[in-house]
Amino acid sequence: MKEILKITVIFLSLQGLNFDVSAQKNQYFKGYIEKVNTPSFGYHSPLPDVNRSLLLRGKAEFDPIGWKTEAIPDSYKGDNVHFIWMYGKDVTHQPSTFHLSFNGRQLLTFQNSGRGYLGEEKVEGIDGSSLTFNNTMLDKYGDQMGFAVLKVPTHLLIKGISNEVQVASDPDNLDTWYMTFEAALEPSINAEQNMVVVKEGEQRKHNVVFEILHLQPSEKVTIKINGMETSMDLHTGYNRLDVNLPKVDHPTPYTAVIQVGNQEAISRSFTLSPVREWEVYLIQHTHSDIGYTRPQPEILPEHLRYIDHALDYCDATDDYPDAAQFRWTCETSWSVKEYLENRPQSQIDRLIQRIKEGRIEATGMYFNYSEIIDEQAVAYQTKYLRVLKNMGIEVST
């Protein structure tokens, strides 16, 4: 089943419907513009087009990592400035300790998490500074990734130029890591049509995914399309909103009206394309390679249990519709012969009954052979076929 699902995913194509969101007010400044004397490290990130990072481990041989921020305009009047960048953080029971400095002054200290979880994690620093990790993704290794927001009092920064952030680690001789991704983040909204047909009740619809990179505090987004309204709470960082639209048989224009918080709504047009429908059948399949995973004497008890389980599953699905009732094929006769010789008569009777019903099939092949078969195997197979025939079971060869 897994292989079929993988193939299905491979054939899902996406049609991009890019939206210009330059009018969206960005309340967070870019926390990363360029690196400072730090080598790059290739790694995956929460965004598909970002795969370079600045890596730091808890070892003495790893120098601090450093990077520059967006310049704050001289006209800025706020008491604090918020910088945002994308990060990755090892989840481990052996955390390293990291120290974050801003323009050479240490503001705060943070550590790795001992468990993988999503949501916010806030670390307080000096003079009202803070670092908030918005854990938006656990990667395939269970490590945390997301968008970090650094709050810095305005009097600690220099306006008109880029300021510098540096992260150093305690030399604990640990492989535990932290990384900042090399990406100058920009707010964006992108819509992609999944080339699939989905069902809502009896209706067939097309699916459009709105991917929103939100670089502000959490707020609500509302999307209106042809009188249909969908909304969700946007969190800082990457967000995804699925919208299902009526199925079309020819290219059909749509207009999306998108409003983020109290900002002015923007309108964008796109075309929904027809999708060819497929009917996919999922078929359970197993295969017996006797002796492949373990020697035959060790694997035999498991193969006997397989038949026990098959009989139980047949019993459990007797009341199901015929097409949904459990069925099983004993691919090799070796396991059936051993079952007939080692299980109690009550179990043997159950097996014979299910074979006669056609719910369990007993094949005539002793093992999975090549074209060459020795005389001993032929003799065992012949004996087995004779035993089945005496029980009233015909086996095709």
pLDDT score for 14? 37
pTM here is 0.64
Q: What are the φ/ψ torsions at residue 176 (nearest 5 degrees)?
A: -55, 135
Q: Rounded to an integer, what distance in angstroms lies between the CA atom of residue 125 and that of residue 122? A: 10
What are the tokens at 385?
């076929």
Q: Rounded to an integer, what distance in angstroms lies between the CA atom of residue 351 and that of residue 13? A: 47
pLDDT score for 396? 57
Q: Rounded to an integer, what distance in angstroms lies between the CA atom of residue 216 and that of residue 213? A: 9
What is the torsion angle, in degrees rounded to the nearest 10, for the CA atoms of residue 68, residue 72, residue 73 and residue 75?
-160
Q: Are strands 29-30 and 80-89 parallel, antiparallel or unpaired?
A: parallel
pLDDT score for 150? 98
Within 8 A by CB and 6+ apart from 290, the residues are 296, 299, 303, 332, 334, 335, 367, 368
pLDDT score for 388? 75
pLDDT tens digits for the chain (397 residues)? 333 222 222 223 334 444 444 333 447 999 999 999 899 999 999 998 999 999 999 999 999 999 999 999 999 999 999 999 999 999 999 999 999 999 999 999 999 999 999 999 999 999 999 999 999 999 999 999 999 999 999 999 999 999 999 999 999 899 999 999 999 999 988 888 999 898 888 899 999 999 999 998 889 999 999 889 999 999 999 999 999 999 999 999 999 999 998 888 988 888 999 998 888 888 877 776 777 777 878 888 999 999 999 999 999 999 999 989 999 998 888 888 899 999 999 999 999 999 999 999 888 777 766 566 667 777 777 777 777 777 777 665 5
| DSSP code of residue 73 | P
Q: Are strands 174-181 and 52-58 parallel, antiparallel or unpaired?
A: antiparallel
Calculate the alpha carbon distances from 295 to 25, 292, 329, 338, 377 in Å: 67, 7, 22, 15, 17
Are residues 113 and 95 in contact, defined by beta-carbon separation less than 8 angstroms? yes
Are residues 288 and 369 in contact, defined by beta-carbon separation less than 8 angstroms? no
Rg of the chain, C-alpha, whole Å: 31
Dihedral sign for Cα 358, 360, 362, 363, please: positive
| DSSP code of residue 127 | G
288: nearest Cα among 362, 231, 342: 362
Are residues 337 and 380 in contact, defined by beta-carbon separation less than 8 angstroms? yes
pLDDT score for 169? 96
Are residues 201 and 246 in contact, defined by beta-carbon separation less than 8 angstroms? no
**Tally of CB atoms within 10 A around 281:** 5
